[in-house]
Every structure is written in structure tokens, then in C-alpha cells.
Chain A
Amino acid sequence: MLQLRGLSVSRGRRPVLHDIDLTIQAGEVLGIVGPNGAGKSTLMRTAAGLTPPTAGAATLDGEPITRLNRTALARRIAYLPQNADCHWPMTVARVVALGRLPHLTPWQGPTAADARAIDRAMAMAQVGDLSDRRIDKLSGGEKARVLLARALAGDPALLLADEPVSDLDPYHRLDVMSHLRRLADDDMAVVVVLHDLSLAMRYCDRLVLIDRGRIVADGPPDATLSPDRLSDVFRITALRGECEGYPYLLPWTHDSAGPGKRR
């Protein structure tokens, strides 16, 4: 679906990503992990077509995304940025409806098809009963689900979620991740940036590890987060095990020199 080939990206004059090759497929949850400042968010922004690459190309089903029309791209890729929020205190139904903007005809209101998509998105994210509440009156977990519903309302083929669970308590982390899992099972491509390595192990089909702007591993979660890489890239050790057929991982000790002093 989405292919990144030899992609390099700079922000200002500072190079952030180098020579990224990555293929994202429908039906999988792809996790992006890596230390702070590794370039995960830049990768997401580039995949969403928000930051143009300095070299290489991103193609969506074979078409370079820089050549796709903005609206056409917006209909297929939904992007949920880090710390997403809604500035004005609109109702939940209105916020979710914003996800339909790329599908609206100019000078025409939402159609019955838009309304169905909004309902479906709200049902998927389990926020249907909140639809008349104001978004500023919701709890953090509720708000995260509403903004997820907003992203889903456009019926995207690819969902890019940048740290969607970092502000949530354990219950809502599991809740949002299992929602993402179900979306992938319904054949959506889901890419999610995670700092919580145990969630990454538990819910992702594939993990990509990024360190200082380069992909250092791309494969099954267990193999990507091998003990060597945990110590090389994250400067931590972890307890590992298996439960109900899923591998799990629990960060346990950290290198006291800190991640800045490595090698």
C-alpha cells in the first residue's frame, strides 16, 4: 500500500531521516519504536504527505504522494498527530464530522453517506453515547477515542497514529490498542508510534526500530526488540517472557551513562 523508498528528510537544515525503506501493508499493525528524537514523528509526517522528503519517494499504491492531489490523499490516509486536540469546545459529533471534510462537495452539507460514516466511526471508537457532549468536558481517555473516531470517519485505507496512547491510563491504553488491532483485522493498514514497548510487543504484527534517523531493524516484534538492540539503542535491559502465546517485555534496568553517552 504505502511504500517509502530511499527516503531522506531534513527539517530546516538538520537531516532527520536517512535512506528509509519501508513497506506498509493492509491488514497489519506496524509499530514504530525508537528513543526520543530518533525521527519517528518526522517519519509519520512524511508518510502522511505533510513533510516533503529531500530525497527518495513515498508512493501510495504506486503513485508518488507528492503528486497526488491533497484531497485524494486525505481520503486515503488519516493522520492522528501526537497530542491531538480540538481547539474550540465543539460537540463530539461535530468533531468527528470534521473527519469527513475531504469527502464533502464544495458548498454542500454532509450527505446521508457522510452521516453513516460518522456513526460507524463513533461506534468503532465507542463514543456514540458521547455525541452531544462538549469535547472539553471529556476525560483524557474519552477525548483520545473521540479523536480516533475523527480519524476513522474519513474511511481511510491507512491510519497513521503518532503516540495515540501516551497520555492514557493502562485501561485506555489497552482499549485504544485493541481498537487499532480490530481495524487492521478489518483490512486497514495501521501504523502506530509507541514508547510503551510491552504494548508494541503485544499488539503489533511488525515493529520497525528507528535510531538516529535510520531503520535499524524491521521484523516481528520479538526479533526487532532483541536484547542486543535494547541495550544498543535504548540502553536498557528487559525481562522477557510469553503469555497466552504472545511475547511480552518489561523494561527493567537502564544504563546509568544515559542514552546520550553511548558507544
Chain B
Amino acid sequence: MTALDLPARHARPMGLFVLLGGGTMAAFILSLAVGPTAVGPGDLLRAFLGTADGSTTLIVWELRLPRALLGLTIGATLGLTGAALQGLFRNPLAEPGLIGASSLAAFGAVVAMYFGLYALFAAALPLSAMVGAVTAVMILHLLAGRDASALTIILAGVAISSLGAALIALAINLSNNLFAVTEIVFWLMGSLADRSMDHVWLAAPFIAAGWLLVGSTGRALDALALGDDTAMSLGVDLRRTRLKLILGTALSVGGAVAVSGTIGFVGLVVPHLLRPFVGYQPSALLPASALGGAILLLLADVAVRVVPTDAELRLGVLTALIGVPFFLGLIFKTRREMA
């Protein structure tokens, strides 16, 4: 072994990233093409060049494009934050929902629906979901304190998630408006149907800010593989890293939940599948999981459109149906490894 072949061995697996990048593009195009009205490749191209007929242009630009963009960004958010939280807690069972941000974000959105705030102005829904996500982070900080262990953070997250679920149940319980209840229940299942570019623009700034915060922690996550103490001795500012990850997760997941409702398990499944292909290196897993999450969510969103059910299958229901058996398998595997 010579010194010169080491950088090569430490290079990120470029083949994997080319594959994931190509896969993301293919899934994105598929998401534009598939639906009640199929749009062929030629029409798709013409729609983007502005030479397609009126209805095709309308379908592609007004219906499919927002949906595909949301699938891309929300899927990437869930994959990225899942990988980052698993790196932070050194636990493959960690998930964005773990710190309670999804749950309180959902409650925030439910409040906006319950009081009809979103009928007054459209931005009320995402804004109030964001308030929920940030509240979750603040409660987490109060509960977990400064030098909290991973276990404390997980327990605090469980408590916050339960709080969110209880408050949502309370809102449904107290509601005497059957229409609002139906709407809330369906929204909680998570979906990308009937979203417009307004939704994209509402969520995008929060999601982008979250990505920047989370994406800047790659090397700190590598160092954390050796434990908190060693990571600190390698120059990692543990408090800043945790703050960046938790705030970044709250912003991006809050933005995502606001427009899509709750979509679970993407952040669990994707990092676990991709980890061996990046040599278990947490920093390389971040971009890989972002792309993988985008692919999974785009394909799942295509699947709910083509599965012939009377009512359209909800995206969050599908990801849960895929995710829960996976989750159970992962617990089983973790238990066996510990034994």
C-alpha cells in the first residue's frame, strides 16, 4: 500500500452518486408524465418549450410540476434529516419524527385548519406548522438541557411526539364540524395531490435553510462516529453541531409537513439501505440519502396515482405501509446484534 492510493480509497463512491442522480432525474420525469392523463416524452418537452397545446401545458405546469418539485424536495428533506439524526444519535432507528418536530408541526397545521385561519390567508397553514416545529425544538432544548445525552434527547422527542398526537386528538375530539374533522384526518395522512406552485414557494425557503444547516455538519457527524468525547477532541463543537442539526431539521421538516402533511419512514428506510454503499461514512450518507429520499418519495407518489383504488391512496399511508415492516425488521436486527 502506498501513500498515493489512499486519497483514491477515501474518495466518495462516485458511481453511486451518478446512479442516484440519474435515478432522481428519471423519477422526477416519471412524476411529470404519470397521472390520470398520461403525458408522453414529446409532449413533456413541448410543454417546457411552450409549444404544447393549452391543456397539456396546464397539466404539466400547474398540476404535475408542483407535485414533482414537492416530491423531490420533501423526499430529499426526509432522507437528509434522517441520515443526519441517525449520525447524531448513532442510532439507525432515529427519524425526523423522533425529535417531535413532525408531530407538533402537524398540530400547528391542524390549529390553522380548526380555526379556519387558512381560509383567511393561505400562508397561515405553513406558518403555523413552522411555529409548531420550532416550538418542538424549544421544548426539546428545555427538556434536554445543554449537555444532554442521546437517550435524553430521544425520550424528550417521544414526549413531544405524544404531546402533538394528544393535542391533535383533542382538536378532533372537540370539533363539532364534521367537514373540518374529515379534512384534518385526510390531511394528516400526507399527500402531494392538488398542490400548486404557491405551496412550493411557501415551503422552499424553510427547506433550503434547513438543508444548509444540516448539510454543513458532515464532518462533525464523521467525528461523532468515535463518540462525543473523541469528536470534541477532534475539534468538533458539539453544542453547535446539535443546534444546527435540530434547528435545520425543524426548519426543513416543518416546511415539508406544512405542505404535505405527515409522511413517515422515508428518513428511516433510505439511510439504512444506502449506508453500506458509502462505506458507513456519515458525511457521504447525507447527500446519498437526500437523493435516495427524493427517488423513494417521487416513486411512491407515482405509485399512489396508478394504484387503482376508489379514493386516491394517500402518500403517507403508502410510506407507512412500506416503512413499518421495515422498522420492525430493523428493531429485530438491532436486537440480535446486541444479544
Interface residues of A (CB under 8 A from B): 45, 48-50, 70-71, 73-75, 77-81, 84-91, 93-95, 97-99, 101-102, 104, 109-112, 114-116, 118-119, 128, 131, 147, 150, 154
Interface residues of B (CB under 8 A from A): 1-4, 6-7, 9-11, 90, 219, 222-227, 229-230, 232-237, 275, 279-282
A75 to B90, CA, bound (A): 25
The verdict on A101 contacting B225 (CB below 8 Å), with A109-B11, A112-B3 known, is no
Contact partners of B223 in chain A: CB under 8 A: 98, 101
CB-nearest residue of chain B to A103: B235
A73 to B234, CA, bound (A): 8
Contact A101 B219, beta carbon cutoff 8 Å: yes
A104 to B227, CA, bound (A): 19
CB-nearest residue of chain A to B235: A74
Contact B1 A90, beta carbon cutoff 8 Å: no
A-B contact pairs, 30 of them (CB 8 A): A50-B232, A70-B235, A70-B236, A74-B234, A75-B235, A77-B233, A79-B230, A81-B227, A81-B229, A84-B230, A85-B227, A87-B226, A89-B280, A93-B6, A93-B10, A94-B10, A94-B280, A95-B226, A98-B223, A101-B235, A104-B219, A110-B6, A110-B10, A112-B7, A116-B3, A118-B6, A119-B2, A119-B3, A119-B6, A147-B226
The verdict on A87 contacting B227 (CB below 8 Å), with A74-B235, A104-B219 known, is yes
Contact A73 B235, beta carbon cutoff 8 Å: yes
CB A85 to nearest CB in B, in angstroms, measures 7
A234 to B39, CA, bound (A): 82
CB A122 to nearest CB in B, in angstroms, measures 8
A73 to B6, CA, bound (A): 26
A98 to B280, CA, bound (A): 13
A173 to B274, CA, bound (A): 38
Contact B280 A88, beta carbon cutoff 8 Å: yes
The verdict on A109 contacting B237 (CB below 8 Å), with A79-B229, A90-B280 known, is no
A76 to B159, CA, bound (A): 42
Contact partners of A89 in chain B: CB under 8 A: 280
CB-nearest residue of chain B to A128: B1
Contact B233 A48, beta carbon cutoff 8 Å: yes
A110 to B9, CA, bound (A): 11
Cβ-defined partner of A98 (8 Å) among B7, B9, B90, B226: B226
Contact A70 B237, beta carbon cutoff 8 Å: yes
CB B195 to nearest CB in A, in angstroms, measures 34
A101 to B235, CA, bound (A): 8
Contact B222 A101, beta carbon cutoff 8 Å: yes
Contact partners of B227 in chain A: CB under 8 A: 81, 84-85, 87
CB B61 to nearest CB in A, in angstroms, measures 36
The verdict on A86 contacting B7 (CB below 8 Å), with A70-B235, A102-B234 known, is no
Contact partners of B236 in chain A: CB under 8 A: 70, 101
A84 to B234, CA, bound (A): 14
The verdict on A79 contacting B225 (CB below 8 Å), with A115-B4, A118-B6, A119-B3 known, is no
